[in-house]
Amino acid sequence: MNKIKKIHNTINSLKVIPYVFVLPFIITFLLFFLYPIISAIIMSFQDIAGFGDVTFVGFKNYRNLLNPHYYNALRVSFSYTFLTIAILIPVPLVLAVLLNNKDLPGRNIFRSSLFMPALTSVIVGGMFFRFAFGTQPTALFNHIIGWFGLEPVVWLQGKWTGMLAMVILCVWRWTGVNIVYFLAGLQGIPNELYESADIDGANGLQKFFHITVPSLKPVIIFVTTISVFGGFSMFAESFAYWTSRSPGDIGLTLVAYIYQTGFNYNNFGFAAAIGITLLVIIMTVNLIQLKIFGFFKED
Amino acid sequence: MKNKYIISKKRGMYISFTVLTVICVLYLAPFFFMLITSFKPGQDMLRNGLTLKMDFDIMTLNNYRILFSEDSRYISWFKNSLIITAIYTAFSVFFSSLVGYGLAVYRFRGRRLLFLLVLLVMMVPLEILLLPLYRLMIEIRLMNTYLGVVLPFAVSPFAIFFFRQYVAGIPKDLIEAARVDGCGEFRIFFKIVAPLMKPAFGAMTILMALTSWNTFVWPLVVLRSSDKLTLPIGLMSLLTPYGNAYDMIMPGAVISVIPVALLFFMNQKAFIEGLTAGGVKQ
């Protein structure tokens, strides 16, 4: 009798206990994810003048998106994402292959040095680049281009030089991280593949393109995915250079636009509408990934 | 034939070594110049930008004295960063390990759905939620508090994912055996599985601490008064148009890197495991 009760208890607790373990996630999901998303959707249809002062305005906020600032923000976010991925996949990949040689002297020192920038916050890195990109002829980057006889450039005021500054800050901080990902992926490639390629007389480049790159496909997909998210949600890099207002909107990314509209102009409804479009963009990218790569095949 | 192969291999190594040396010098240069500049007066940086010049005659320890003088805000920013990092790391590692364990060990209704939701949260950038979360913080009176910075992200989907994968690799017989012995479910977690998860705890502690130490956007929204700021936000606040606080910028930046650099060099392996095990293992 007692034994039956005991078994009963166990079954009972095994039914309940899993939910106790996952409860922290359920609570934070509902309170800090689902609720904010729903309220963002609602806000995007409202004019919010103050805390009690709310009027429903239909699609007005979305219609207002058709303005040059928004187009500009889209362009900046897209170019930034594209450029960072165009650099942060091939460069770390090649460096990881170079680093993967066990006989290379100073291998760990190289790896740690390249990872160092990842330890800094965007702001700390930004403090360096902000002043290194100074307008003065003595400032670091102007000094360097001076060696080649070039005139000083006003880096942080121009559309393309401003973009360059943001991309460089990002590339500096992330190269080491992506190297770590690629190095981890390289460990999984069986050595026999290279050995048999050697026997067939393949050269280094052939081995790189026919063995290394195809074998690293999952890692490349993973790194691309996180880079897309990172790229579209970029704000801190821009803030580090120009805070929330940049000359000619050169640093106005989608998130910077949300921040500016919400916190500088107190136009919460409109800011929420921008956020929803960003959400749609990211979800579309997700779905494409899902479709092409079957990312979610669990276990 | 064989000889030629070895020679070309050797040459390849020289080329790798040279390329890597050049790139590493470029990547480390910002640290070097920040350090050099941190000894120069702020006015010099305001006037000339960050320069390549090594003016030893204008380099002093004065900036560091200002940074750590008694009424300096920097010390309180440093303290705030430490407190927030400690709370965030403790919360996120503890709660995320519970959830990850729950998802890995038990078969229950909604398990698949919950796991998908974890992935979903991982994929939606928090920046989209900035405004509604900000309003929520006002409603629940957590503006300008440490808890307001920490709480919304205290359960990290990335850490959940990591712990889930890790626990899935632990033999289930161990848990079964404990259960047969009449061990309670929580005891199983804390006394039997948690000790086996030590490397995972190590990796996540370090990664969460790094994330929290450097996080910028959310604290920027929540923290409002100058005495509550964390290091990155405090540093940004020094950039006044008059340049009267420029003395503190570079030494402040240099000092703020030191804790994480120490953490990294003492635990490189855990760092790298924490980064890679989440995404790359498939």
Q: Do A22 and B276 touch (CB under 8 A)?
A: no
B255 touches chain A (CB under 8 A): no
Longest Cα–Cα distance of chain B, Å, equals: 76
**Count of positions (residues) in chain B:** 282
Q: Whole-angstrom distance between the N-terminal and C-terminal Cα of chain B?
A: 40
pLDDT confidence band for B184 (50 / 70 / 90): confident
Q: Which residue in the set B28, B45, B235 is minimally distant from A131, CB to CB?
A: B45
Contact list in A for residue B229 (CB cut-off 8 A) is none
Q: Do A119 and B260 touch (CB under 8 A)?
A: yes
Q: Which residue in the set B28, B50, B98 is minimally distant from A132, CB to CB?
A: B50
Q: How far A119 CA sits from the closest chain B CA (Å)? A: 6
Contact list in A for residue B33 (CB cut-off 8 A) is 128, 132, 140
Asked if the model's pLDDT at residue B274 lies above 90, the reply is: no
B233 touches chain A (CB under 8 A): yes
Q: What span, in angstroms and rounded, lies between the C-alpha atoms of A262 and B179?
A: 53
Query: What angle (nearest 5°) sits at the alpha carbon of residue B166, between those of residues B161 and B172?
Result: 120
Chain B residue closest to A18 (CA)? B102
| Beta strand spans in B148-189 (E) | none
DSSP A115-133: HGGGGS-HHHHHHHHHHHT
pTM for this prediction: 0.91
Q: Do A28 and B128 touch (CB under 8 A)?
A: no
Phi, psi values for residue A56, rounded to 5°: -80, 130
Query: What angle (nearest 5°) sits at the alpha carbon of residue A266, between those of residues A263 and A271?
Result: 75
Report the mean per-residue pLDDT for chain B: 89
Q: What span, in angstroms and rounded, lies between the C-alpha atoms of A214 and A208?
A: 9
Contact list in B for residue A259 (CB cut-off 8 A) is 130
Within 8 A by CB and 6+ apart from A92, the residues are A175, A176, A178, A179, A181, A182, A223
The structural domains of chain B, with segments of one domain joined by +, span 2-65, 71-279
H or E element: which one contains B105? Answer: helix B73-105
Chain B residue closest to A272 (CA)? B131
State the burial class of residue A297 (Cβ atoms within 10 Å of its Cβ: 0-12, 13-18, 19+). exposed
Number of cross-chain residue pairs from A and B with Cβ atoms under 8 Å apart: 274
Chain B residue closest to A108 (CA)? B268
ipTM: 0.91
pLDDT tens-place string over residues B93-129: 999 999 999 999 999 999 999 999 998 898 888 888 8
Q: Do B272 and A180 touch (CB under 8 A)?
A: yes
pLDDT tens-place string over residues B48-75: 889 988 888 889 999 999 999 887 899 9
Q: At B148, is the secondary structure helix, strand, or coil?
A: helix
Q: Which top CATH class is B71-279?
A: mainly alpha
Contact list in A for residue B13 (CB cut-off 8 A) is 101, 103-104
pLDDT at residue B280, rounded to an integer:
45
Token digits for A96?
């990881």
Asked if the model's pLDDT at residue A299 lies above 60, the reply is: no
Token digits for B30?
């910002």
